[in-house]
């Protein structure tokens, strides 16, 4: 359930928006109201909203100042601004902060609902992009995109590693499989992929672990085994070093962000 926060110091406008959105959402969204930006910021310090609908002119803190203060938030909500006047300067500033829509009072209900639907869609799109960033290792993607330029031994090395992530593979093991000198293989691997053998293998294992954490019910110990770590304790240590969080917390965060249960 997504949360929409309505911020307006005029009770009639605030309640009108709330009632319109409650009828539109049919219980699928939580509609919260605040009578000031100060009250809204206090609420936002403990809770999260996916969309904020705020008046421009309010006492103490204006709607624009509210948006500015939200700029540093890691979960920046979509914003719709409402105003009693067609103030060009305000509109310009609002658009610079990524405001989805600028609505004039008295508010047309159809325009309000259309703006809300657009804002929530943009919020979903942003969440999906952020989610992909959490799931995918950009350096591995870059490495994969350049594989056509690799020599045959490095292509074979990458293919072998991808197929044997669940096994304890060392550079010496790989050099024996490819019938190459291990020192030469190490230099060639780094030269062509931009990653050392150990760094590539670790990134690949963590990437696979993230996929399993997000998409399966496997336990941490089972995932540890599937990505080639002999003990779950060492796997957790490596994962924390790479992602700045534990595998269990990562799984919870991913599931919370996409709003779905693990299949």
Whole-angstrom distance, CA of residue 118 vs CA of residue 114: 6
Residues of the chain with CATH 1.10.10.60: 138-258
At 132, the pLDDT band (50, 70, 90 cuts) reads low
Prediction pTM value: 0.56
- For residue range 32-56, what is the model confidence (pLDDT) as tens digits? 999 999 999 999 989 989 999 999 8
Q: Mean pLDDT: which of 93-97, 133-137, 184-188 is highest?
A: 184-188
Angstrom distance (rounded) from CA 233 to CA 220? 10
Q: What are phi and psi of 248, to 5 degrees?
A: -65, -45
Q: What is the mean pLDDT of the chain?
A: 86
133 has a pLDDT exceeding 70: no
53-93 confidence digits (pLDDT tens): 999 888 888 888 888 887 656 567 889 988 877 666 666 66
Q: Residue 86 contacts by C-beta under 8 Å, 6 or more apart in sequence?
A: 104
The ranges of the chain annotated as CATH 3.40.50.2300 are 2-130
Sign of CA dihedral 208, 214, 218, 219: positive
Question: What confidence category does residue 261 fall into, taking pLDDT thresholds of 50, 70 and 90?
Answer: very low
Contact 14, 6 (CB under 8 A): yes
* Integer Cα distance of 97 and 103 in angstroms: 15
The CATH superfamily of 138-258 is: Homeodomain-like (1.10.10.60)
> Which tokens in the block code for residue 103?
């609505």
Q: What does the pLDDT look like over 213-245, one tens digit per residue?
A: 887 889 999 999 999 998 999 999 999 999 889
Instruction: Give Cβ neighbours of residue 34 (< 8 Å, ≥ 6 apart).
Output: 5, 6, 7, 40, 43
- Nearest 5°: CA angle at 250, between 245 and 251? 155
257 confidence band (pLDDT: 50, 70, 90): low
Where is pLDDT greater, at 144 or 42?
42
CB burial of 11-29 (b: ≥16 within 10 Å; e: otherwise) equals eebbebbbebbeeebeeeb
Is 29 within 8 Å of 2 (Cβ atoms)?
yes
Instruction: Return the CA Rg of the chain.
Output: 25
Least confident of 62-71, 120-129, 130-139, 216-225: 130-139
Token pair listed for 261: 């249960």
CATH number for the domain formed by residue range(s) 2-130: 3.40.50.2300
Q: How far apart are CA 103 and CA 83, in angstroms?
A: 6
Predicted local confidence at residue 97, as pLDDT: 66
């Amino acid at each position: 359930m997504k949360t929409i926060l309505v911020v307006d110091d005029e009770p009639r406008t605030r309640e009108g928006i709330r009632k319109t959105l409650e009828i539109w959402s049919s219980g699928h969204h939580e509609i919260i109201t605040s009578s000031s930006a100060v009250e809204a910021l206090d609420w936002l310090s403990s809770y999260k909203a996916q969309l904020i609908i705020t008046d421009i002119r309010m006492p103490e803190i204006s709607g624009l100042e509210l948006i500015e203060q939200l700029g540093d938030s890691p979960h920046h909500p979509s914003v719709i601004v409402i105003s009693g006047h067609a103030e060009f300067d305000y509109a310009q500033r609002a658009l610079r902060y990524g405001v989805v829509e600028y609505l004039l009072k008295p508010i047309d209900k159809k325009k309000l609902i259309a703006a809300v639907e657009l804002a929530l869609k943009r919020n979903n799109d942003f969440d999906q992009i952020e989610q992909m960033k959490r799931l995918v290792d950009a350096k591995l993607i870059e490495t994969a995109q350049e594989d056509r330029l690799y020599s045959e031994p490095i292509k074979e090395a990458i293919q072998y590693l991808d197929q044997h992530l669940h096994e304890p593979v060392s550079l010496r093991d790989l050099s024996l499989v490819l019938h190459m000198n291990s020192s030469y293989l190490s230099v060639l691997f780094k030269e062509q992929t931009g990653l050392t053998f150990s760094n590539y293998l670790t990134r690949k294992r963590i990437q696979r672990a993230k996929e399993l954490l997000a998409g399966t019910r496997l336990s941490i110990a089972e995932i540890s085994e599937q990505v080639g770590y002999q003990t779950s304790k060492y796997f957790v240590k490596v994962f924390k070093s790479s992602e700045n969080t534990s595998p269990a917390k990562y799984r919870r965060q991913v599931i919370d962000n996409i709003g779905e249960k693990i299949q």
